Amino acid sequence: MTSVAVERRRPVWQITAVRLRLGLVGLLVALAGGAWWWTAREMRGMDGGPWTSLGGLGWFVGVWVVMMAAMMFPSVAPTVALYSRMTQRRSPIPALVFVGGYLIPWALAGLAAYGIAAAGDSFAGGALHWDRAGRWVAGVTLLAAAAYELTPLKDYCLGKCRSPLGQLLGSWRGGVRGAVAMGARNGAYCVGCCWALMAALFALGVMSLVWMAFVAALIAVEKLLPWRRVATAGITAILLALAIMMFAAPHALPGLTIPSSGMSGTMTM
């Protein structure tokens, strides 16, 4: 029996629901593409290497949220499609509200990152210049990101991201508030899973499209590749290799911008 014949035997509402979910996935991918384009335009010429200046708070938070959309939407699309299926609604609105809730924890994570950068700039000052401690702090950050890949907390959060059905069923709430709350819950697990990889991005150059795409690819592999343990082990090895190169031969890292001598990559207010 052909696929066309099978589709004709399905109830109309089932066909509509499938098309809606496919449309949502396509929309999220398209939004991610638009976010990449906008981010590239906004960050043009701003890559200062490790600990790049974050600029003003409002500008950074706006760019950060769009960055998260660009980096996370492709890997979270299956979860959004699952949520849409569970709502049994013929409108994409609940799923889009879910996506809005998903971005809330990432916006809060961006605020936290900005606060940490501001505190480090205020208290450490010139100690974080590249030719002083900046290079070594970047290497240690990459080592810490590698170590976090092997922790129980990482494993727990990654499990929630890879298999969202249980957490969606366990925290199900209807309505707009429910969609926001459930999206935020899923986003919180995603932050718990990926915060160390995002810290690695800061250590490599948060305004670098090359490293942004690289980290986004690692996140997608870890969340979507069927061989979970292989993905985690591979990413751990990659982060360890990056840390070793940062310590031993940073100029050999492709795509890494080395701050000028005496210059700091830390935030300027």
Q: What sections of the chain are H helices per DSSP? A: 3-9, 12-42, 57-87, 93-124, 135-148, 152-162, 165-170, 175-204, 209-224, 228-248
pTM for the full model?
0.84
Q: Is 42 contained in some domain?
A: yes
Tell me which residue of 84, 69, 88, 89 sits closest to 29, measured CA to CA: 69
Q: Is 178 contained in some domain?
A: yes
Tokens 């890292």 found at: 253
Q: Is 261 contained in some domain?
A: no
Q: Is 138 contained in some domain?
A: yes
Q: Is 179 contained in some domain?
A: yes
- Average pLDDT score, the chain: 85
Is the confidence at residue 150, as pLDDT, over 50? yes
The highest-confidence range among 83-87, 121-125, 131-135, 182-186, by mean pLDDT, is: 182-186
Between 192 and 3, the higher pLDDT residue: 192
Q: Is 96 contained in some domain?
A: yes
Q: What is the pLDDT of residues 4-24, one digit of tens each?
A: 444 455 554 344 556 667 777
Backbone angles phi, psi at 129, to 5 degrees: -60, 150
Structural domains in the chain (count): 1
Q: Is 265 contained in some domain?
A: no
For CA atoms 173, 78, 32, 256, the dihedral sign is positive
CA–CA distance, 156 with 33 (Å, rounded to integer): 30
Q: Is 75 contained in some domain?
A: yes
* Parent domain of 31: 10-252
Is the confidence at residue 58, as pLDDT, over 60? yes
Label residue 96 exposed, middle or buried (CB < 10 Å: 0-12, 13-18, 19+): middle
Record the tokens describing residue 248, joined without a space: 């031993």
Which range among 57-66, 71-80, 116-125, 228-237 shows the weakest confidence by mean pLDDT?
A: 116-125
Q: What is the pLDDT of residues 222-250, one digit of tens each?
A: 998 888 899 999 999 999 999 999 999 99
